[in-house]
Structure formats: structure tokens, C-alpha cells
Amino acid sequence: MNELKYMSSTVITVHREHLIQLAKKYGTPLYIYDSCKIRKQYIKMKNAFSGVQKLIINYACKANTNLNILKFFQNLGSGLDTVSIQEVELGLKAGFHPKKIIFTPNCVSIQEVKKSVDFGVRINLDNLSILEQFGELYPNYSVGIRINPHIMAGGNSKISVGHIDSKFGISYYQIPHMKRILRNTGLKIEGFHMHTGSDISDIKYFLEGAKILFQTAIDFPNIDYIDFGSGFKVPYKKNDIRTDLIGLSHSITEKFKDFCKNYGNQISLIFEPGKFLVSECGYFLVHVNVIKHTTSTVFAGVDSGFNHFIRPMFYNSYHCIENISNPKGRLRYYTVVGYICESDTFGFNRKIQEIREGDILCIKNAGAYCFSMSSNYNSRYRPAEVLIFHGKDFLIRKRETMQDLMKNIVEIHM
């Protein structure tokens, strides 16, 4: 572990020399994840809410579904939040007990929900039609309910999922209808859940949502948990805002304790962070193919694009870019772009240590929603992934090859 150096967030936790070595060893583009940073975030979360008697942290695995990352969380004692039956299967393959997995699907078929019953995982439904169909099939079963608390929270409209126009959750105004379905089918409720968005920096949204969940849950006997979802904001640059976990804990812990007292039972409090746990552990290394001067701009063109890392283009998210080949270089302005035949800007007009063709750039906060959103657009191979674990580097996903691009193609005779 001694080669890993911890500094404040958004600063590289793996030494630059080490990153350069890994780029040489495995080639670029390359994803690198530092397991120490993941553990640190997990512990930070646990410590923040240590006042809660029964705290459950479920890693929202759509952020990064590499099986080894899932296994790492399983070893930490985490549970798993899943949104597709495939994620459920990956979780089981990683060794999670089915009851430590919550399946929170949206707009999936009843067939998919039935499969999750076969796998024995916990189910969290967010649609009255599915609830009714489910109840007809499995009367007396217990499910969780995702409530839409009608709160506009989150970093941008694509990642705001709890407002009145959102497709997620059962509106808390529809509780009477939900109760009727429960009576008609015999279904039971084991927990209430909300998840209102991502990059939520103001804790008041969590508190507003919590209030609604408490008000809802108090009328239902025999619930096991209340799940506050996630959406914790992490810093993307120096002095960037982040969700104040300690402040949130101060407010929520007391309110949760009061709820349990009124409810007459110690139930579990669940959070299901994705980004908070894995965003900052990740580094994406790219090779600078060309420097291109135009009349207005100096471009650095790298061997990747939105096929591998779509967040800047899709969400306008800011990711720090550092020239790890020239850390002492003079700071100059660059627009860092990819090689995809479409606009794919990683960073516009950024101050970066002087970039030369052949340098390796490091793009930060590359652990969450990066590889898991990658594609083969432009018929490019998806990158390799490396995990730093106990101070050693392990290849945890091979770089793709032409065989991978061809494996599902059925060639017909013409």
C-alpha cells in the first residue's frame, strides 16, 4: 500500500509515475481503479451514519459493474442496488446473498420481475400496473415501494428523477390506490424507497424526501426498511462542492430514531450510493495522438472519445484533465478532444501542463458511469480496466479485439 499516496479529493491518489507505468504496461486508453479509495469512501459513509443502529449501504452497481468491483464491495460487507435482471445476475455471481440485493427496475416487463423472484432478491416496485400484476402472481409476497416524492433535485434534468414529470416512482398522492391494490391482492410492503437524482448538493432535498417517506411508512405495519436512495455529489475539481454527509447525518439520524420510536420497531436505514463510492477511485488514461492549432484554439486529440467516456458530452460534466507525462510543464490552454467522427470534447479551454504529442493525459473521476456507459461506436474496442488492490495492479477486463466486434455478427451470403 506504500506506493499509494493519499491527498485531498480530486487529487491523484495513485502516484503519477505509477499511472505512467500502467499505461506502458497495459496500453491506452486505460481505466484504472484504486480499491483503497473505494474502501475509504465506503468507510466514510459508514462512519457518517454510525449513529444509526441498523445501517445498510447498497452499492448502486450501474456506476461500475466490473465483477471484481462487485466482489470488492461484497467483501466490504456492502449490499447491492440493481436496476436490471442482468445486474442481479452479476451480483449473484459476485457472491452477494440474494437478500442483500435490491432490484429497483423501471419500465421493465413483469417477466423480468418474475425472474428476480426466482433469484430470491428483494424487489422494489415503482409502478401500480406492475404492482397489481405482481400481486396477482404472488399474493402474500412482500415488496418495497419506490415513492416519487415530487422533489426537483439533481445536477441537471437528465439526472433528476424525483420530480412531478419523472417516470420514476409511485406518486405519494397515489398511496390510496396503492393501498387498494394491496388489499385486493394480499401483497405486503417491506420497505419504502426514494431516489430523486444525482449530484444533489443541497441536503434539504434529502430531508424533504425523508419527511414524505416517514409520513408514508408510519401507516404500514411490518416494514423492514426505509431506503433514502442516493445522489450524493462528489467533488470534480479543487474546492468543488460536495454533499455534506455529516450535516445530513445530523439531521437524518435524529429524525430516523424518532421515527423508529413512533413506529415501535428498529428498522433498517438504507442508502444506495453509486457515484459517491466509485467516482473518485477512477482514472482514465489516454494517449495524445496529435496537437492541432486552429485559428482560435489549440486542440489535443487523444486516442478515445465518447465511445469510452461519454459524461462530458452527455451530461456536460466537468472532469479534471492532467498531463501526467509533463507534471512540471508550463500551464497553457487546450481543448481536449477525442478521435470520434463527431464532436467529442473532454474539456474545453482548459489550463493544462504543456501537452506534447505522445503524452499521457489523466482524466479524473473516471470510476462511475464511465466504462459502464461505453460503447463500440466507430467500431472501436472498449478499453481495458485495471484494479489496484493491495498495492498491486490487476487486469480486471481485457481490451477488446476484432473478435469481440465480430462475435455476434451473422454473415449472410450475398
Ligand X SMILES: *Cc1c(COP(=O)(O)O)cnc(C)c1O
Residues that bind ligand X (CB under 6 A): 60, 62-63, 81, 83, 104, 195, 198, 229-232, 272-276, 368
The CB-side HSE value for 300 (13 A sphere, CA atoms) comes to 29
Q: Given the complex with ligand X, which of 315 and 339 has the nearer CB atom?
A: 315
Q: Which residues contact 295 (CB under 8 A, 6 or more apart)?
A: none
Q: Given the complex with ligand X, which of 38 and 361 has the nearer CB atom?
A: 38
Range 309-314, long-range pairs (CB < 8 A, 24+ positions): 309/284, 309/346, 309/363, 309/366, 309/370, 309/374, 310/373, 310/374, 310/375, 311/369, 311/370, 311/373, 312/345, 312/346, 312/347, 313/343, 313/344, 313/345, 314/158, 314/373
Q: What is the DSSP letter of 133?
A: H
Least distance between ligand X and beta carbon 23 (Å) = 27
**Residue nearest to ligand X according to CB distances in the complex:** 274
Q: Given the complex with ligand X, which of 106 and 378 has the nearer CB atom?
A: 106
Nearest alpha-carbon partner for 224 in 296, 149, 127, 124: 124
Q: Given the complex with ligand X, which of 63 and 388 has the nearer CB atom?
A: 63
The CB-side HSE value for 156 (13 A sphere, CA atoms) comes to 8
Q: Given the complex with ligand X, which of 345 and 372 has the nearer CB atom?
A: 372
Structural contact between residues 265 and 308, judged by C-beta atoms closer than 8 angstroms: no
Least distance between ligand X and beta carbon 61 (Å) = 9
Taking only Cα atoms into account, the Rg of the chain, rounded to an integer number of angstroms, comes to: 23
**In angstroms, what CA-CA distances link 347 with 262, 310, 370, 383?**
51, 12, 15, 20
Cell matching residue 282: 477512477
- Catalytic residue at 362? no
Structural contact between residues 162 and 195, judged by C-beta atoms closer than 8 angstroms: yes
Least distance between ligand X and beta carbon 157 (Å) = 15
Q: Given the complex with ligand X, which of 16 and 163 has the nearer CB atom?
A: 163
Least distance between ligand X and beta carbon 85 (Å) = 15
One of 260, 281, 320, 341 is an active-site residue; which one? 341
Structural contact between residues 12 and 19, judged by C-beta atoms closer than 8 angstroms: yes
Least distance between ligand X and beta carbon 197 (Å) = 7
Least distance between ligand X and beta carbon 18 (Å) = 27
Query: How many other CB atoms are found less than 10 A from the CB of residue 232?
Result: 25
Q: Kindly list the catalytic residues.
A: 341
